Amino acid sequence: MSGDPSDQARSTAVKQLKALGLSTYAARTFVALVSLGEGTARDLSEVADVPRTRVYDAAGELHNRGLVDVKQSSPQRYWAISTETAGRHFEQEYDHRVTVLTDALDQLVPANRSTEQQGVWTVTGRDTVTERVVDFISSADDEIVYMTAEELLTDEIAECLSTVSDRGVSIRLAEMSQSVEARLEQDVPDAKLFESLWNWSETPAGRLLMVDQNKTLVSVLVDGNGEHPPEPRDETAIWGVGQTNSLVVVLKTLFTWQLDNNRDSQDVR
């Protein structure tokens, strides 16, 4: 009845709907109803592959959620809202959730989130690491030293650097690939380049970041070689904050030495 690409669309739609909190039956029923436009319990049962006797529950759930309208005839018919409306609907619901959540959490957060720590924290996952990097960069008052692999320089990061640069924070970027440099030159004209410690492009290193000589983060790209599915969870980072933090101390000396050497126009290694 339906081809392969259509089936795939179905299953991803069902997956997302379930993740959005619908039951399997409700998700399948909704997808069927969208592709049918309108239909009876029997129709839906066939297309959605949901037991006929359970379509009513599923449709009820959908009606409660406001995704489906009901016609009180016999047999009763169901009608699905448009995809755009569905999108808006979920967005609204979600915004509300997040607002309520952050409000509640803000009431709980203690006054002093310590600014001096002993050890280092680990973060996993490319997107998550990016989040930390953005947090760090955004919090900069004075100076940022940053080295990054090309593939990890997202628009988000570039934009973030540009913002703090406008705020007057001095930015030092390690020598990286041509394209990265060119890109940043455009977005962050005030950034100063310096010679990299390593041959950056040949290491599996991800990023090095130091903010205000006070917060540091270093990441590496892991697996990607020995793993079966090409997971996006392919970056691992450690970070630490505080003047006495060991990671901070190490990177600070490293960078200081590096930057000083560079200032004397000496090419190191």
Partner DNA sequence: CAGCTATTCACTCACTTAATCACAATACTT
Partner DNA sequence: AAGTATTGTGATTAAGTGAGTGAATAGCTG
Binding site for its own copies (CB under 8 A): 5-6, 9-10, 12-13, 16-17, 19-21, 31, 34-38, 63-64, 66, 69-73, 77, 79, 81-92, 94-95, 97-98, 100-102, 104-110, 112-114, 119-125, 127-128, 131-132, 135, 239
Centre a 10 Å sphere on the Cβ of residue 4 and count the other Cβ atoms it contains: 7
| CB-nearer residue toward DNA: 76 or 246 | 76
| CB-nearer residue toward DNA: 42 or 192 | 42
Query: Cα(195)–Cα(235) distance, rounded to whole angstroms?
Result: 24
What does DSSP say about strands 170-174 and 143-148: parallel, antiparallel, or unpaired?
parallel
| CB-nearer residue toward its own copies: 92 or 178 | 92
Q: Which entry of its own copies, DNA, none binds 40, CB below 5 to 8 A by partner kind?
A: DNA
* Residue 69 makes contact with DNA by CB under 7 A: no
Kindly report the backbone phi and psi dihedral angles of residue 213, in degrees, each rounded to the nearest multiple of 5, phi listed first: 50, 35
Q: Minimal CA–CA distance to 217: which of 119, 120, 117, 141?
A: 120
Query: Cα(161)–Cα(159) distance, rounded to whole angstroms?
Result: 5
Q: Which entry of its own copies, DNA, none binds 257, CB below 5 to 8 A by partner kind?
A: none
How far out from the chain centre does Cα 96 lie? 20
* Residue 52 makes contact with DNA by CB under 7 A: yes
Q: How far is the CB of 149 from DNA (least distance, A)?
A: 30
* Residue 40 makes contact with DNA by CB under 7 A: yes
Q: How far is the CB of 84 from its own copies (least distance, A)?
A: 7
Kindly report the backbone phi and psi dihedral angles of residue 193, in degrees, each rounded to the nearest multiple of 5, phi listed first: -90, 150
Burial class of residue 93, CB neighbours in 10 A (0-12, 13-18, 19+): middle
| CB-nearer residue toward DNA: 53 or 266 | 53
Query: Cα(62)–Cα(60) distance, rounded to whole angstroms?
Result: 5
Q: Are 115 and 244 a contacting pair, CB within 8 Å?
A: no
Centre a 10 Å sphere on the Cβ of residue 13 and count the other Cβ atoms it contains: 17
Cis peptide bond upstream of 189, omega within 30: no
Structure tokens at 89: 């609907």
* Residue 54 makes contact with DNA by CB under 7 A: yes
Q: Which entry of its own copies, DNA, none binds 224, CB below 5 to 8 A by partner kind?
A: none
Which window, 48-56, 143-151, 163-171, 213-221, contacts DNA (CB under 7 A)? 48-56
Q: Which entry of its own copies, DNA, none binds 97, CB below 5 to 8 A by partner kind?
A: its own copies
| CB-nearer residue toward DNA: 74 or 118 | 74
Which window, 5-13, 71-79, 102-110, 202-210, contacts DNA (CB under 7 A)? 71-79
Structure tokens at 142: 């004075």
List residues binding DNA (CB under 7 A). 23-25, 40-42, 50-54, 56, 74-76
